Structure 1
């Protein structure tokens, strides 16, 4: 259901007894409402009776109509992706024993086999004697956000691929023009240059184009300029994080 918020009226800001300015609803929503709207549900567990309660949204996340199934431990565990079950249990148990809120993401699989990524938050409530009596929290369906992030990454990868391909084609074209060779020969020459300094072909092409552009003020690209640009291709230092990752992989092997 969509709720329309009325625009604030042009009146003087209300003040509380403490002197602080009361926030109007529009300003609050402007401050906290960002990104994609998400499906958010609530849950509550009475530890003494073992009774669970879900809001309607949690049923929908599990591929069910509200009230269609009985909320409970077995239902929650059966819907979790097998790879995530123990991780979530450990995170929640440690936090609740320490009297702290917890938050953990995991995947659930509905009866049709559709997987969703959800974020579960929770905290324990205690009685006057300090005994933990119930757990309450929220479940947020983050599937849409995750999908959007993957789509952005894919689009960025495609864009990078186009940029890389463009640089390679530019250098090949220059080699063909200056040296009078065909496409395959030009591609082979560029690949050999890249191989000699152990860099990807697109990195070598980018370096060649940079060198040619710097020399461009001296006149059109000729054999000497091309040769100097190809000779300028050099190794690229890898990020330290990449090296550390490779070291960890080798140690596991």
Structure 2
């Protein structure tokens, strides 16, 4: 496949109308910032001559599938053998329309490389009707987006862990106050807090948060006392529903009998 040529920038002279070539007025750093370059992805190219059925792949496409160029012949059979079993029956209409009308398309699916690892790939292409009697072709790219998927999952997992730590910290803080004020064991303090949460019908974290909020708002000047702790535990209450979900608001009004 011939290498892609860098397009030349042309500027039209307003006075004479002549086209003059000028160097780009931006640096590589400016371009990287504008395009939002971040995670480095493996990108390969492919080409299919529709009349002959001949395929060409760049080395990157072979690498994604766990092959070397001399180990397999590029083509449909090779692609089908590595497609994820759950994605084999998916039909992307956009690709069919692109071949028929020459429009660009993009679709995503999973592959399983020769080492058994699942990869997420995005196939981008555009059908070309050919010029000067040339055979119609399908040209495009294959992008391995697996690193992006892994980063998204890692961020989600980190968020879940962080929220769990925050929840546990609030619970332990409330239990510590109960232990200190009432002089009971950690297990007994946990039962006291659990009973308050069960009575209000709310999760333990919310009960602990309400207890600590009430204690901070208490006007006692001598620190947390038995009375202040009792008030805080007694003040644990259910969390109100948003009014939009109140079934009473969605109930149809009855007609008045006249």
TM-score, normalised to structure 2, is: 0.76
Match of 2:12 in 1: 17
1:125 and 2:128 matched? yes
Structure 1's 170 and 52: CA in aligned 2 closer, same or farther, altered over 3 A?
Answer: same
Residues 196 and 236 of structure 2 are in contact (CA less than 8 Å); yes or no, is this contact kept in structure 1? no
Tell me the secondary structure at the aligned position of residue 92 of structure 2.
Answer: helix
Residues 124 and 135 of structure 1 are in contact (CA less than 8 Å); yes or no, is this contact kept in structure 2? yes
Structure 2 distance, partners of 1:125, 1:219, is 82
1:111 and 2:95 matched? no
Residues 16 and 22 of structure 1 are in contact (CA less than 8 Å); yes or no, is this contact kept in structure 2? no
Match of 2:146 in 1: 143
Q: Runs of 5+ in structure 2 lacking a partner?
A: 1-8, 15-21, 245-258
Match of 2:59 in 1: 56
Instruction: Give the CA deviation at 1:58.
Output: 0.4
* Aligned counterparts, 1:138-217, within 5 A: 138-215=141-218
Residues 200 and 236 of structure 2 are in contact (CA less than 8 Å); yes or no, is this contact kept in structure 1? no
The number of residues matched between the two structures is 225
Residues 59 and 67 of structure 1 are in contact (CA less than 8 Å); yes or no, is this contact kept in structure 2? no
Match of 1:65 in 2: 68
Residues 88 and 106 of structure 1 are in contact (CA less than 8 Å); yes or no, is this contact kept in structure 2? no
Pairing partner for 1:226 from 229, 233, 242: 229
RMSD between superposed Cα atoms in Å: 2.9
Tell me the secondary structure at the aligned position of residue 124 of structure 1.
Answer: strand
Tell me the secondary structure at the aligned position of residue 62 of structure 2.
Answer: helix
Q: Runs of 5+ in structure 1 lacking a partner?
A: 1-13, 241-253
User: What do the CA deviations read for 1:107-166 (whole angstroms, capped 9, x no partner)?
Assistant: 11111211111111122222469xx92222111111112112222222222221111111
Tell me the secondary structure at the aligned position of residue 160 of structure 1.
Answer: helix
